[in-house]
Structure 1
Amino acid sequence: MLLDRIGMRVPVVQAPMAGITTPALAAAVANAGGLGSLGVAAMDAARARDEVRQTRAMTAAKFNVNVFCHKPPQRDAAKEQAWLDGLRPDFARFGASPPDGLADGYLPFADDPEMLAMLVEERPGVVSFHFGLPTSDQLTALRDSGAILLGSATNLADALKAKAAGLDGVVAQGWQAGGHRGVTEVDAPDAQMETLDLLATLKDAGLPLIAAGAIMSREDVQAVLDAGAVAAQCGTAFLVADEAGTSAAHRAALSGGSTRMTRAISGRPARGVENIISRRDDGEAPDYPLPYSALKALHAVASKAGEDGYGPFWAGTECARARPGTAAEILARLTP
């Protein structure tokens, strides 16, 4: 069984939220019997190695390292300039101007041999993928290192691809889940299935399923286990953990309870707290991850002026139910 192979005593995975997860959070969840995770998509291999080693220093258990398998953006100078021009009035509110251009700050895993080498050498135990799958050679190298491999899927086709690639399990990401939607193709039709409906659909893939989306209590965890999942993946519940790297503004915003799926922040659909930036028309957003660079600059100048409405505050639909505590306390509240 997948959980036995990982060494999990509790059927809960702490989601690998890039920019939020910390070694202390991942280790605390692992030590309490769940699967702790690090999100390293925004890091270079050297920083990721440091985080993995910090985590290993705090736990002997397996933990998960998540990487992004997106395609490089297609550059369109006119579209990018139009996006920047659209943000100009927002920057002007704070006496600032948009950057001269949009930067690509997220290296796809397929183009990052140093990250692959780090994972093979450091052996965290579990490696997971978002936005698709790595190359077959990368999968072979990770598998040969002893890693348990997990993918994400929002539809049956992607789950079947994960099975064909020899993955060990799939995170079934329901429409309610916070953070980036795990779709392979941004512009492809999305059935927007909620978690329980998606679980029923993905059973045909024949892989162990880890359910994600609107899971905030032990009753929610039990519901997805009853529906056929082997575990639940929880992100929003851990946003308010003492060990999480979540900002004070992000934590405060969760209590509003209103979320929105948007491409306006990063260029890919992602669910976060409804605010000024997430309400922006995202129909002409440049390719992922280009909008991020301008948004981060805007959030920086706005927050200095006391305006947090431009924050990329990822959260699931049940964010108002998040309750603070240590990671171990939150995990205990999730354990059926």
Structure 2
Amino acid sequence: MDFLARLGLSIPLIQAPMAGTSTPALAAEVCNAGALGSLALGALGPDEARRQIAELRGLTIRPFNLNLFVHKTPQPDLKGETAWLDALAPIFAEYGARPPSALETIYQSFAGNAGMRDVVMEAKPAVVSFHFGLPDAATITALKQAGCLLLGSVTSLAEAELSHAAGIDILVAQGWEAGGHRGMFDPDAADDRLGTFALTRLLVRWGKLPVIAAGGIMDGAGMRAVLDLGAVAAQLGTAFVGCPETNADAGYRALLDSDAACHTVMTRAISGRPARCLANRFTHFGQRTDLPPVPAYPRAYDAGKALNAAAKPHGETLYGAQWAGQGAPLSRAMPAAELVARLAAELAATRP
């Protein structure tokens, strides 16, 4: 498969979906600049998803990617969740607030989600990508029959094998360096923590599916490195966080531009799944050894978002989900189209 030709891309670049941070405006600017823009639907319900897809379609006529979260729906655990809320209570109290009385499953998985499946089937985007797992066989078949190219995020060869058997077209090799949520199918399984280079090369040598490399890639030199390893494209997320088109708030942007960018932390404390975040007060809290087990994703995220909402009016921004990869110190704040052009020029300059 000629990935670039199929989508009409002028640069082998995908903007990572980044739920909560990316926007239709960001995806459109990336698409219009010749790369593949992505719109994250994992944190949205059907109505808002339709609205954002319509907004994106009003800003670009080029192919784009819709991204879905396919996580296991958690079962409430009253005792464990109460213990977690009790552990957070003293921090809430610092800001004159109390934690939620109970946790809710704030995001619905794409697995078995008829409403979101209808949204995606109506949209028939050029690309659909999955994080945390894979939908059922009927959904994959329907999307492929609709002409969608299917991308699956994997962190291991075992997940790649499952993706190949399910009918995924291209793998997104997410290295340990990557910012945001680790795409492990089972967040409680042993994690070999493969880096982007090792995982990309392993999957390229395996050879059953094309590979897109993701994690720690911030500039044209990094893109060239993974292309030389056999990837068909590079997926960049943290590189785009500082763009004015994202939803990143002032606190997130300031932290990305600080020394914290040199000290990212993999944590479950914010959302309930492993995710790489800029070092902040929440990641520091999550490193305590006296904490009860973190509730499952996304129920823990209900508490995390409530804490951030309680702290921000008091000028405290360091309880946010300020996701970033290990390449964060290389971040450059500029409009998305300008960044894509810069990356294209840097990539071209690496040719012999």
Is the Cα–Cα contact under 8 Å of residues 174 and 194 in structure 1 kept in the other structure? yes
Q: Equivalent residue for 2:350? A: none
Please state whether the residue corresponding to 2:58 is helix, strand or coil. Answer: helix
Q: Any stretches of 5+ residues in structure 2 without a counterpart?
A: 348-352
Q: Distance in 2 between the 1:311 and 1:245 partners?
A: 13
Number of residue pairs aligned between Structure 1 and Structure 2: 336
Q: Please report how far the alpha carbon of residue 31 of structure 1 lies from its aligned counterpart in structure 2 after TM superposition.
A: 0.8
Deviations 1:255-309 (A, max 9, x none): 2212100100111000011111112147610111111111111111111111112
Is the Cα–Cα contact under 8 Å of residues 35 and 64 in structure 1 kept in the other structure? yes
Q: Equivalent residue for 1:329? A: 338
Displaced runs of 4+ in structure 1, greater than 2 A?
A: none
Q: Please report how far the alpha carbon of residue 333 of structure 1 lies from its aligned counterpart in structure 2 after TM superposition.
A: 2.1
Q: Equivalent residue for 2:213? A: 211
Taking the TM superposition and a 5 Å limit, the aligned residue runs for 1:17-28 are: 17-28=18-29
Q: Distance in 1 between the 2:207 and 2:256 partners?
A: 34
Is the Cα–Cα contact under 8 Å of residues 169 and 209 in structure 1 kept in the other structure? yes
Q: Distance in 1 between the 2:38 and 2:279 partners?
A: 26
Find 2:316's aligned residue among 307, 322, 336: 307
Q: Structure 1: which amino acid aligns with 2:326? A: T
Q: Please report how far the alpha carbon of residue 168 of structure 1 lies from its aligned counterpart in structure 2 after TM superposition.
A: 1.2
Deviations 1:186-237 (A, max 9, x none): 1111111111011111121521111011111100100000011010000000
Q: Equivalent residue for 2:79? A: 78
Find 2:276's aligned residue among 246, 259, 271: 271
Q: Distance in 1 between the 2:115 and 2:47 partners?
A: 8
Q: Please report how far the alpha carbon of residue 110 of structure 1 lies from its aligned counterpart in structure 2 after TM superposition.
A: 1.4
Structure 2 residue 196 is the aligned partner of structure 1 residue 195: yes
Q: Distance in 2 between the 1:45 and 1:216 partners?
A: 32
Please state whether the residue corresponding to 1:150 is helix, strand or coil. Answer: strand
Please state whether the residue corresponding to 2:128 is helix, strand or coil. Answer: strand
Q: Equivalent residue for 2:328? A: 319
Is the Cα–Cα contact under 8 Å of residues 83 and 292 in structure 2 kept in the other structure? no
Taking the TM superposition and a 5 Å limit, the aligned residue runs for 1:109-188 are: 109-188=110-189
Is the Cα–Cα contact under 8 Å of residues 160 and 205 in structure 1 kept in the other structure? no
Please state whether the residue corresponding to 1:82 is helix, strand or coil. Answer: helix
Cα root mean square deviation, aligned: 1.1
Please state whether the residue corresponding to 2:276 is helix, strand or coil. Answer: strand
Q: Distance in 1 between the 2:272 and 2:44 partners?
A: 19
Q: Please report how far the alpha carbon of residue 132 of structure 1 lies from its aligned counterpart in structure 2 after TM superposition.
A: 0.6
Find 1:245's aligned residue among 244, 247, 250: 247
What is the TM-score when the length of structure 2 is the normalising length?
0.93
Deviations 1:167-202 (A, max 9, x none): 110110010000000000011111111110111111
Please state whether the residue corresponding to 1:110 is helix, strand or coil. Answer: coil
